Chains A and B, each alone.
Chain A
Amino acid sequence: MRSGDTNPWSRSRMLILATVAYIIWSLIPVVIAVTFSFNAGRSRSAWQGFSTRWYVGTPEAAESILYDPSLRSALTQSLILAILTMLVATPIGVALAIGLARWRGALAKPSNFLMLFPLVTPEIVMGVALFLVFDNLYDFVAFGTPAQFLGHVTFSISFVVIIVRGRLFAIGRDYEEAAMDLGASPGQAMRRVLLPLLSPAILASFAMVFALSIDDFVISQFLLGEASSITIPVRLYSGARLAPPPSLNALATVLMVITIAAIVVAGLAFRAWKKRSGGDESTIESIASFEM
């Protein structure tokens, strides 16, 4: 305990106050938005009682996520895109990470550089680039789901590489080489030794790509096609200023719950590997270090 602690205006008190104020400021608007998704009335500022009508209301009223066609379609589109992206970007990214970590050829360095570029390119630039290429060169790719899917995979691959290569460097090459010295072919060493060792990182990548894709707004919007390709973030963007009913809050809440669930899975997977390599970080610290 430092002597300043008896003084209510001491530095440490001020720091606690600032942090608590920040947390309240950053979370209260969201908490209020979630609360009003359960409002029984149409207002988003006057509480009229608890109800789940904006989530699962009747088909006749067609005002809930379940029965309003535009809300339901946004939820479906977001889920489809996130699942497709996750299934395609993760294997490509894992293979790229392994390849880049082991390959010593002349083209290895430029390839590594190429992989880093999508991470530092502003989303709007990538959005414009993909829009123009699908509009002018790859015109066999339709705007909407196909273009959005290709765009989401493109920005996700590098994230997978970063996650997996952290684990690859930690493992080193010893296990694989031991397996090969004992007579395993490179393929066997890969399947029986390297991939099992990488499995927590691969699981974390699946969850992470899912979260990145379902959270994306800019790429989805630039590559939008027909109305059915509107995702949840795009729907929030187009509806937010039009005095929407609380069903839009309900849709945002569902997105939030899905994203957080994916991140928790990623964090647990990450923790599993940290534990194996002897760390004692908590899950939340794993998620924190993981983002960098």
Chain B
Amino acid sequence: MPTNLQAGESDAVGQRRWVWPGFALPGVVWLLLLFVVPFYAIFAVAMGHTDPIFNRPVPEWNPIYWDTSSFSRVLHDLFGGQLGTIAVRTIVYVAIASLICLIIGYPVAYFVSRRSGRHRGLWLLLILAPFWINYLMRMMAWINLLSPGAQVDQVFFFLGLDPPAWLAGHPFVVILGLVYGYIPFLILPLFGALDRIDESTLEASRDLGASPARTFWRVTLPLSKQGILAGLVIIMLPMFGDYYTPNLLSGSPRTVMLGNTIDQFINQTTSQGGVGAALTIILMMFVAVLMAYYLVTINRATKEARE
């Protein structure tokens, strides 16, 4: 950083005005070039056209010349076509998986947040451990267990039951895979919110004669609402764009989610970038509310930290 030791007081003040934006500059430029421009590229490609000779997408950077025909074809498919079925399926899978995550995760987060003393750290370590184990490793671990003739099948054989082919395209396997994969990300913010509730608040409720159930419904649950919402948003955002979980645990067209269609058009074919980009815009329309809520939450959290 250039500093001029001979500079007088007013110069130093003038300099200080430029120091701080100067610090922010590399990061801001980086994010403009590698986040904002790429983000715009999604629209440029979705509203562009396809080169008839080389059969590859040609982006249209100038919005005046945007051609919405391919985007409206995808939109048309969303309302009443194959894509509509996939979108509904995605919403159903995400909704069921999020609900199961909450039902399993809440008691766990509550229990650990009410622990004190020596073992609290150990409990916390155990519920946080999956957080730092790679998602793909955790999926692979289940593939191992669910493969034909593997441990889960052996349990079934032992009980005299006939196991289904777990990995052959069952929606419930995909949904349970989503639950298994994302639940740690819900438990963490939930634990944070529950941990901030002062034990004396709960004691006061009980001392005033409320039953444990009433204390839970009238005190604990309302006080943890922010944590529930934050946790749900944090898991629903990646779930909506997930393609690897259905691919790994099923691979069948019967369990295709929105993310799979994007993966297909971008990663597995070369000439369909325009469709892939249009699908990505549609995905963003689905998650826009979640993104906005999350953005407001983070912004508020940092503002509070500043005070």
**Which A residues fall within an 8 A CB radius of B?**
11, 14-16, 18-19, 22-23, 25-27, 29-30, 32-33, 36, 44-45, 92-93, 95-96, 98-105, 107-108, 111, 113-133, 135-137, 150-151, 153-154, 157, 161-162, 165-166, 169, 185-188, 190, 211, 215, 217-218, 221-222, 224, 232-233, 236-237, 240-241, 243, 248-249, 252, 255-256, 259-260, 263, 282-285, 287-289, 291-292
Q: How far is the CB of A167 from chain B (nearest CB, A)?
A: 10
Question: CB within 8 Å of A: which of B93-152?
Answer: 104, 107-108, 110-112, 121, 123-145, 147, 149-151
CB pairs A–B below 8 angstroms (16 shown): A18-B104, A19-B107, A29-B138, A32-B145, A33-B137, A45-B149, A92-B30, A96-B26, A108-B24, A122-B240, A125-B39, A129-B280, A132-B38, A153-B34, A186-B16, A255-B134
Chain B residues with Cβ below 8 Å from A211 are 132
Q: Is the interface of B mostly helix, strand, loop or mixed?
A: helix
Report the interface size for chain B: residues with CB under 8 A from the other chain. 106
Chain A residues with Cβ below 8 Å from B188 are 288, 291-292
Q: A259 — nearest CB in chain B belongs to which residue?
A: B132
* Candidates A151, A157, A249; contact of B144 at CB < 8 Å: A249
Q: How far is the CB of B14 from chain A (nearest CB, A)?
A: 11
A-B contact number at CB 8 A: 297
Q: A111 — nearest CB in chain B belongs to which residue?
A: B28
* Candidates B192, B280, B302; contact of A125 at CB < 8 Å: B280
Q: Is the interface of A mostly helix, strand, loop or mixed?
A: helix
- B143 touching A241, Cβ below 8 Å: yes
- B283 touching A125, Cβ below 8 Å: yes
State in angstroms the CA–CA spacing of A249 and B189 once bound together. 30
* Candidates A22, A154, A188, A217; contact of B135 at CB < 8 Å: A217
Quick check: which of B73-81, B82-90, B158-166, B293-301 contacts chain A, the rest being far away? B293-301
Query: Given contacts A111-B24, A150-B34, A240-B139, are A124 and B306 in contact (CB under 8 A)?
Result: no
State in angstroms the CA–CA spacing of A98 and B1 once bound together. 14
- A26 touching B130, Cβ below 8 Å: yes
Q: A246 — nearest CB in chain B belongs to which residue?
A: B144
- B150 touching A44, Cβ below 8 Å: yes
Q: B33 — nearest CB in chain A belongs to which residue?
A: A138
Chain A residues with Cβ below 8 Å from B20 are 98-99, 102-105
Query: Given contacts A32-B151, A132-B273, A249-B144, are A256 and B133 in contact (CB under 8 A)?
Result: yes
- A26 touching B184, Cβ below 8 Å: yes
- B248 touching A241, Cβ below 8 Å: yes
Query: Given contacts A44-B144, A260-B132, are A19 and B137 in contact (CB under 8 A)?
Result: no
Chain A residues with Cβ below 8 Å from B151 are 32, 45
* Candidates B31, B143, B277, B295; contact of A128 at CB < 8 Å: B277
